[in-house]
Structure 1
């Protein structure tokens, strides 16, 4: 077993030869994700996510009979699942799993929770019972929430009114979550009523909870002419008066209840330095990250601190991230954005130009009271779609194949043009690379700024027909400044990085950039197109090679195209192993926040 499976990530992951690609199995049985019982479909979704993680993180391949087998219980049994589709990019599809003892007894069906416990114990030389139990519990939580989501979406009408924007609809489309995460819908600490209000997939909405903070404790920053406290006062509105000498602080309602029992916050409330104003204002809508909220008609979104453990991390804003958002806005406005737009006019960063919170020694960092003010640049008619939502499977229980928003778009384009669906899909993919991927490479190579551009952090702009025309990047956690570019970046903005802790060694950035843009984003898009029957992954991988080896990609100056073209293996975040090791991806140095393994590079092998 690889040493990368036993604990913290090694400094230099071991290189593994690329295996021969097994042929895709022919799926003749009904797709289990479309089972009429949402609980059964949710179990299957949870199981498939686990098996995809295992296959990617261990290099496991199916046998000649088209079945994936995992040795469990110290080799005394095998966890087996038929392969419905084997994806060169990793978006495999499986049938129901069984447990075989190898002693002639009949195979027994296995649910996702049992599979999680077996896999967790098999993934380490000395499994930690606490981590095995934690993974199993969180898989159970994820499966139950997925069942609730599918039950709701199979019966509830889509919302109307101003909230029915293209932007919000895509944010609410991640019904199954990250396809390569073992607990994609785990939200540890949300009860059923809270889940209904706070979950984007359940069309949730809620009023913000407001505190008033005494100005002697007010912490805020703004890269705009308008201060953060003036912005939040406008969002609160005049119907809820502020006590004299205070500023308005918006909070997630779950967070407000949690904070009230934290000793440091309870003391500030008791001393009158914080005032609990309660819920107020119009409804806000959670987006795909759960904690970032959107309200139609306002120029702002809010990235709220939220102490829930969502996937691997508790989502409370760190001060360095708040400073990073202001820095990036100022850096772009220094002239860099003009240069970028001259080369790629359809792409930009969604800005986080202001923040507001509370300063007190007892709070620490994160203190749980800091909120990001994010610019909201999209009109209701704009087709600005979260890429993860666009490609996400929508198992609504009808038809023969699992649909997606991307599949619907491509089928409409093919019908309109009279061309074959795979041909249209390949053209759409190439246009996407030009509109969304090329600008990110330009910013890396020309400016020395790498974006953590995974699919949930990335938006694609579509024209009225559905063709890609541009994109946006969001998330003040995910900017990396290259150490090799420090001189020219600090010349643009003196003092850059001093408070944001954003400069990283080039080799660390190369490692993470290859995963986030190369594997998660681009290969994830290829895997979605292939697994959903929209295109041949081999054709798309060849198209990607042509793009990466072309003059426009080379002109960006980014090192990523050459790495994707030539490297035998690529560094890949191992979400299952990260979870089994109990790691919080927002804690500690960037280089060691997650377990990484090397996986065969399908681009080099195309």
Structure 2
């Protein structure tokens, strides 16, 4: 098993960590930033493992580890100089200015904010009690977060006290604020009846739950509505909710219900609002996806509908999503795929005594429903790590896949078949299977996960599969360059990544 200084072994930070939180936060924050730098702009130096030439042409960078690179060093006239996170951010900014010819003052601040957020989370986790439910532990395990993003834990630059009480990584749970929304201001579509069961509004009002962090962020804008009675406060929910990896999506176990909110904060590439243009197409997109999953073992967690205020359509929107229990096979326990990559206590990846068999079972659950939705229904499911759950039986063997988030689904022919396939390959193969395969191989030396992937893909009669199995490269999203150049977060741009499926 590969071991890298300062990054805890599989099992996450709960498995034991150095006492120096500052050093550990540097290591957690450096790994995804280095992944971006090495994938998108640096080039490996032939014959020198772990050494890369930076795009300016006159500097060399050395790192340790591969899946989570750390301990970055830059070569100077005095030899190799170890970079702390602040120095690494400065180096990345200098190299990107050379590489692109563009300046960007916002992204370095986000990188620093992301590192400071990790430090705050680590300190909070040391005092917190992890949830007993293994599913919730998997959702709340993502200290690193997106493994190929320069600032995966940035929280808008606001004070820690503003967001930490709602952070899944800190094992938070909290009640939602219950608002009364005057009936003449209600806008809704689909099945929102689950919201009405959360409380009892006075006559002339409908119930509208709100995320307390979002209420804080939009307090000034909403003040007139509270003043004139369009909104009233009705207390909080009787039971707490648990924030999931998506931060703005929470799970209410007692009601087996997911609720997704707007957050006026940039998290990874986008400001995480429930945008009007996504909400108005939600029912059609979700219906098409639900239909694509009919009849199989795999499940789609339906986005049933949304409710909001006409005067604050995006700010106060809440989306109602199916819970888990109505979809799970009897006796199966769900886990977030991203949690398997990050590591947490009780992960089925750690208990896999026959890793090759476990991996084949995982692929049998994950791959067919995504390819089938594309082939038979023209539905492109964003099956990336945070949208995918795997349910395991009592032995820890994968027996079912579950997928979520209609907001990210693409439909043919709204996008071209070629663009839809590229997006599918990035989400399912590059973002998802490459990462789980890497985590599994890290735990089991000598395991080659790719023959099993090739066999699973080859079972599917799709014209694109043959090209996927022979192409020299795969599309890898360029999150660092996307953010540096100020491209729209939904405007995915890709660079070629060596294809581990080819040549087998």
TM-score scaled by length of structure 1: 0.75
Task: List gaps (5 residues or longer) in structure 1.
Answer: 1-25, 86-90, 395-402, 415-423, 484-502, 587-592
Residue 122 of structure 1: aligned partner: 95
Specify which of 99, 105, 120 is matched with residue 148 of structure 1: 120
Residue 139 of structure 1: aligned partner: 111
Q: Distance in 2 between matches of 1:40 and 1:327?
A: 48
Displacement after TM superposition at 1:372 (Å): 0.2
Displacement after TM superposition at 1:359 (Å): 1.7
1:456-467 → structure 2 map (5 Å cutoff): 456-467=386-397
Q: Distance in 1 between matches of 2:161 and 2:4?
A: 37
1:123-522 → structure 2 map (5 Å cutoff): 123-124=96-97, 125-129=99-103, 131=104, 133-154=105-126, 156-159=128-131, 164-222=132-190, 224=191, 228=192, 230-235=193-198, 237-238=199-200, 242-262=201-221, 265-331=222-288, 337-338=293-294, 341=295, 344=296, 346-360=297-311, 363=312, 367-378=314-325, 382-393=332-343, 405-410=347-352, 414=353, 424-483=354-413, 503-522=414-433
Structure 1 residues 336 and 604 mapped into 2: Cα distance closer, same or farther (>3 Å)?
A: closer
Displacement after TM superposition at 1:155 (Å): 5.6
Residue 38 of structure 1: aligned partner: 21
Structure 1 residues 123 and 212 mapped into 2: Cα distance closer, same or farther (>3 Å)?
A: same
Residue 497 of structure 1: aligned partner: none
CA contact (8 A) 2:292 2:379 kept: no
Higher relative contact order (CA 8 A, sep 6+): 1
Q: Distance in 2 between matches of 1:38 and 1:152?
A: 11
Residue 599 of structure 1: aligned partner: 497
Deviations 1:250-271 (A, max 9, x none): 1111111222212xx3333333
Aligned residues: 492
Q: Distance in 1 between matches of 2:289 and 2:26?
A: 45
Bigger shift: residues 442-451 or 372-381: 372-381
Residue 547 of structure 1: aligned partner: 456
Q: 3-state SS of the aligned residue for 2:474?
A: strand
Q: Distance in 1 between matches of 2:136 and 2:4?
A: 34
RMSD after superposition: 2.6
Residue 565 of structure 1: aligned partner: 469
Q: Distance in 1 between matches of 2:355 and 2:252?
A: 33
Q: 3-state SS of the aligned residue for 2:239?
A: strand
CA contact (8 A) 1:167 1:382 kept: no
Task: List gaps (5 residues or longer) in structure 2.
Answer: 9-16
Structure 1 residues 375 and 202 mapped into 2: Cα distance closer, same or farther (>3 Å)?
A: same
Q: Distance in 2 between matches of 1:438 and 1:77?
A: 45
Q: Distance in 1 between matches of 2:282 and 2:485?
A: 30
Deviations 1:26-75 (A, max 9, x none): 96875554544232122112222222112222362254232323437x55
Displacement after TM superposition at 1:368 (Å): 1.1
Displacement after TM superposition at 1:577 (Å): 1.0
Structure 1 residues 406 and 605 mapped into 2: Cα distance closer, same or farther (>3 Å)?
A: farther
Structure 1 residues 307 and 584 mapped into 2: Cα distance closer, same or farther (>3 Å)?
A: farther
Displacement after TM superposition at 1:353 (Å): 0.8
Bigger radius of gyration: 1
Structure 1 residues 542 and 62 mapped into 2: Cα distance closer, same or farther (>3 Å)?
A: farther
Residue 489 of structure 1: aligned partner: none
Structure 1 residues 30 and 521 mapped into 2: Cα distance closer, same or farther (>3 Å)?
A: closer
Q: Distance in 2 between matches of 1:356 and 1:99?
A: 52
CA contact (8 A) 2:300 2:403 kept: yes
CA contact (8 A) 2:115 2:153 kept: yes
Structure 1 residues 595 and 184 mapped into 2: Cα distance closer, same or farther (>3 Å)?
A: same
Q: Distance in 1 between matches of 2:426 and 2:4?
A: 34
Q: Distance in 2 between matches of 1:368 and 1:95?
A: 39
